């Protein structure tokens, strides 16, 4: 963990503060820094990979790119496991498509893999390959640590993965476990590409002020976000100068409804909780879970960095578990997705404009008091990149 | 193939219920085709975006009136289907309309609560179910099979032998290649040529750069 020399939020005696952002232009535009992030951040932390819904049955799989690698989570007779999704023979990607149901068999020459990643069968092995038995026995896919929290699956690429408790506080894990266990089996999924650095998305999500300006005709009409600005200057690192990784992820009820709108489907699903609130959970580094209506429906936004200024957003939408006789979830999810996309488009336009500004300018960014959470996150990030 | 010269006329007055521009357009077409029939159009309020307040229908007793339900095709036609079912529960006999400027085989009869607009062409051996909407200048190829609550927007072309599931919206100028299958609960609202079959619960919409798909226990992989 990094040792921080500049410990405290710089505040004047009058309580006013102005501070230069810790991250500068290169952190958003420099390919070398992007490559270091892929190793030091995405190669070290637990990264959301998908939902258990997609690997619930034998031979079901999901694929993701994490830290620049293609990963497959494959169900082997009831047990999901995570492997590098690249054949040991000719390096062809094994499973294609985001989700599906297919044994872990390469489509090029039919190599089939067992649940420990070892090569189980090679067609025409003795006639055509004549591999040394010891070499063949050593052929196996690299396996990665896989952790399930409720219906959320996390993968860690590190050879000695940290405990997930070191990344997220137990209370947060319990809450996302509880909320995700309320998801229905039907999940709506799509992807959206954006021309912005992945960090801008989370700086925006941690910014409690932006809905008043960016979402004036959408989210801000419906949700009154609670005041996220601390009254007193707050330390942005602990007394010993360290930032706790767990402080980077947080969430819960973040707003109330300006105009409650009970919808017909509410009566047909098993509501999660009882609090009439807008819930947000940010799971560092790149996952955002939302419950916008007090426990009736949910969405997950997962930002996959493709390049220094290129991010692919995967969107998952779910209602709470539905009455089995209710056939209307498809229409409900579709209308929810269209509403959410309106808000996302507003955010994405801002992020792409911010990226364009970073591309074109070298001037430093200024942070205000309300952006303390971004500053804390940036401190940990900089230490991790060293 | 014959020109449909005789729109359905039952003698009973008709109340067209729903919402939006399509309500006015359907009423205008119906009045133009059947000038001697009393045809009222009433917009029904919705408290929640799905259910409709049916109180205004008290002035139109089902014993003496026929009804027709029309709503914009959003939400994969679920709201229109719900309204149609509500009318049937009350006891209304539901009428259908085929424009005199549409073409269909003489043996083809429009299913319950259906509307076929000007310039539409319906091929031979086409199977259709209730709550169908066929927009202006749509073509449904020979042997196509359509589920219930299918909505074909203006100029949609359905190839020969195409199968379309229940609750499907086909957008303006979409072209479905011969023989493909569109699963149930789909929206294909991006104009263009759909050359391959589309899995159920898949949505193509200009708001989204990529298809949106529902996966789940009732969805095949």
Q: Is the pLDDT of residue A10 over 60?
A: no
Average pLDDT value for residue range B152-160: 97
Task: Give the integer Cα–Cα distance in Å for A316 and A318.
Answer: 7
Tell me the CA end-to-end span of chain A in Å, nearest whole number. 10
Determine contact, residues A141/A84, Cβ cutoff 8 Å.
yes
Mutate to test the interface with B, among A190, A325, A332 (most CBs of B within 10 A): A190
Q: Which residues, at least 6 apart from B46, have a Cβ–Cβ distance to it below 8 Å?
A: B19, B52, B53, B79
Residue A198: how many CB atoms within 10 A of its CB? 27
Chain-centroid distance of CA B39 in Å reads 19
Unique residue bearing structure tokens 């229908």: B57
Task: Return the ∠ at Cα A370 (arms to A367 and A373), rounded to 5°.
Answer: 85
Task: Give the integer Cα–Cα distance in Å for B4 and B100.
Answer: 5
A189 touches B at CB < 8 Å: yes
| Bridge partners, A304 (sequence order) | A312
- Which one has a higher pLDDT value, B123 or B48? B123
Task: Give the integer Cα–Cα distance in Å for A295 and A182.
Answer: 9
Task: Return the ∠ at Cα A148 (arms to A143 and A149), rounded to 5°.
Answer: 150
CB contact under 8 Å between B49 and A263, yes or no, is yes
A349 touches B at CB < 8 Å: no
Q: What is the pLDDT of residue A226?
A: 72
Calculate the average pLDDT of chain A.
89
User: Taking every pair of C-alpha atoms in chain A, what is the biggest distance, in angstroms?
Assistant: 82
A331 touches B at CB < 8 Å: yes
Average pLDDT value for residue range A290-308: 96
- Percent of chain A residues past pLDDT 90, beyond the cut: 73
Task: Give the integer Cα–Cα distance in Å for A78 and A95.
Answer: 18
Average pLDDT value for residue range A272-300: 96
Q: What is the interface pTM, i.e. ipTM, of the complex?
A: 0.87
The whole-angstrom distance between B178's CA and the closest CA on chain A is: 26
DSSP per residue over A202-239, as a string? HHHHT-TTTHHHH-TTTHHHHEEEPP---SS--BSS-T
Q: Is the pLDDT of residue A152 over 50?
A: yes
Q: What is the pLDDT of residue A203?
A: 92
DSSP per residue over B76-121, as a string? GGHHHHHHHHHHHHHTPEEP-EE-TT-EE-TT--PPTT-EE-TT-E
- Give the pLDDT confidence of B51-106 residue by residue, as tens digits: 899 999 999 999 999 999 999 877 788 899 999 999 999 999 999 999 999 999 99
Q: Is the pLDDT of residue A2 over 50?
A: no
Task: Give the torsion sign (CA, A372, A378, A379, A381).
Answer: positive
Of the listed ranges A133-137, A168-172, A233-237, B148-152, the least confidently predicted one is A233-237
Chain-centroid distance of CA A273 in Å reads 23
Q: What is the pLDDT of residue A13?
A: 44
The whole-angstrom distance between A333's CA and the closest CA on chain B is: 9
Q: Which two tokens stand for residue A104?
A: 């872990």
Determine contact, residues A144/A157, Cβ cutoff 8 Å.
yes
Chain-centroid distance of CA B121 in Å reads 14
Short-list A301, A290, A325, A319, CA closest to A184: A319
Q: What is the pLDDT of residue A7?
A: 38
Unique residue bearing structure tokens 């005709």: A217
Running DSSP on this structure, what letter comes out for residue A129?
A: I
Q: HSE on the CB side for B214, CA within 13 Å?
A: 28
Of the listed ranges A161-165, A303-307, A335-339, B138-142, the least confidently predicted one is A335-339
């Amino acid at each position: 963990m990094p040792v921080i020399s500049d410990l405290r939020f710089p505040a004047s005696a009058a309580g006013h503060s102005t501070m230069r952002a810790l991250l500068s232009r290169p952190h958003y535009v420099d390919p070398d820094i992007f490559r270091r992030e892929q190793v030091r951040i995405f190669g070290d932390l637990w990264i959301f990979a998908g939902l258990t819904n997609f690997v619930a049955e034998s031979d079901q799989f999901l694929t993701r790119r994490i830290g620049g690698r293609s990963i497959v989570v494959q169900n082997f007779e009831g047990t999901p496991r995570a492997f590098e999704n690249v054949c040991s023979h000719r390096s062809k990607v094994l499973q294609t498509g985001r989700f599906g149901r297919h044994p872990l068999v390469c489509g090029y020459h039919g190599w089939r893999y067992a649940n420990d990643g070892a090569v189980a069968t090679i067609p025409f092995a003795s006639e055509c390959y004549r591999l040394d038995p010891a070499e063949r026995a050593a052929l196996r896919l690299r396996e990665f640590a896989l952790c399930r929290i409720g219906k959320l699956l996390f993968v860690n690429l590190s050879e000695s993965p940290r405990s997930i408790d070191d990344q997220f506080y137990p209370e947060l894990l319990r809450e996302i476990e509880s909320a995700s266990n309320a998801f229905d089996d039907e999940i709506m999924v799509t992807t959206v590409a954006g021309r912005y650095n992945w960090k801008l998305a989370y700086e925006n999500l941690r910014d409690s002020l932006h809905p008043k300006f960016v979402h004036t005709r959408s989210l801000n009409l419906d949700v009154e976000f609670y005041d996220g600005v601390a009254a007193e200057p707050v330390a942005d690192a602990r007394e010993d100068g360290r930032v706790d990784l767990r402080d980077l992820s947080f969430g819960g009820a973040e707003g109330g409804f300006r105009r409650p709108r009970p919808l017909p489907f509410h009566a047909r699903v098993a509501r999660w909780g009882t609090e009439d609130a807008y819930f947000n959970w940010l799971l560092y580094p790149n996952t955002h879970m939302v419950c916008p209506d007090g426990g009736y429906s949910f969405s997950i936004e997962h930002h996959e960095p493709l390049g220094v200024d290129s991010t692919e957003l995967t969107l998952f939408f779910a209602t709470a578990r539905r009455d089995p006789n209710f056939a209307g979830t498809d229409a409900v999810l579709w209308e929810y997705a269209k509403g959410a996309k309106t808000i996302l488009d507003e955010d994405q336009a801002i992020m792409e404009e911010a990226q364009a500004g970073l591309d074109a300018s070298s001037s430093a960014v200024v942070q205000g008091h309300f952006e303390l959470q971004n500053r804390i996150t940036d401190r940990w990030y900089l230490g991790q990149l060293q | 193939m014959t020109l449909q010269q005789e729109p359905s006329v039952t003698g009973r007055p008709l109340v067209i219920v729903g919402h939006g521009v399509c309500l006015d357009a359907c009423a205008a077409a119906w009045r133009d085709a059947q000038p001697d029939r009393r045809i009222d159009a009433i917009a029904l309020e919705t408290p929640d975006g799905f259910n409709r307040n049916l109180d205004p229908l008290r002035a139109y007793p089902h014993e003496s009136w026929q009804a027709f339900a029309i709503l914009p095709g959003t939400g994969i036609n679920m709201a229109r289907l719900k309204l149609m079912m509500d009318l049937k529960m009350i006891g209304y006999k539901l009428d259908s309309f085929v424009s005199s400027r549409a073409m269909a085989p003489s043996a083809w009869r429009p299913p319950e609560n259906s509307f076929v607009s000007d310039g539409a062409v319906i091929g031979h051996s086409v199977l259709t179910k209730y709550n169908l909407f066929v927009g202006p200048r749509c073509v449904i190829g020979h042997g196509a099979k359509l589920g219930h609550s299918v909505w074909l927007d203006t100029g949609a072309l359905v190839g020969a032998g195409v199968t379309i599931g229940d609750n499907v919206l086909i957008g303006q100028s979409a072209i479905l290649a011969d023989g493909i299958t569109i699963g149930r609960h789909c929206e294909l609202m991006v104009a263009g040529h759909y050359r391959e079959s589309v899995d159920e619960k898949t949505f193509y919409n200009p708001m989204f750069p990529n298809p949106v798909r529902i996966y789940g226990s009732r969805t095949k992989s």
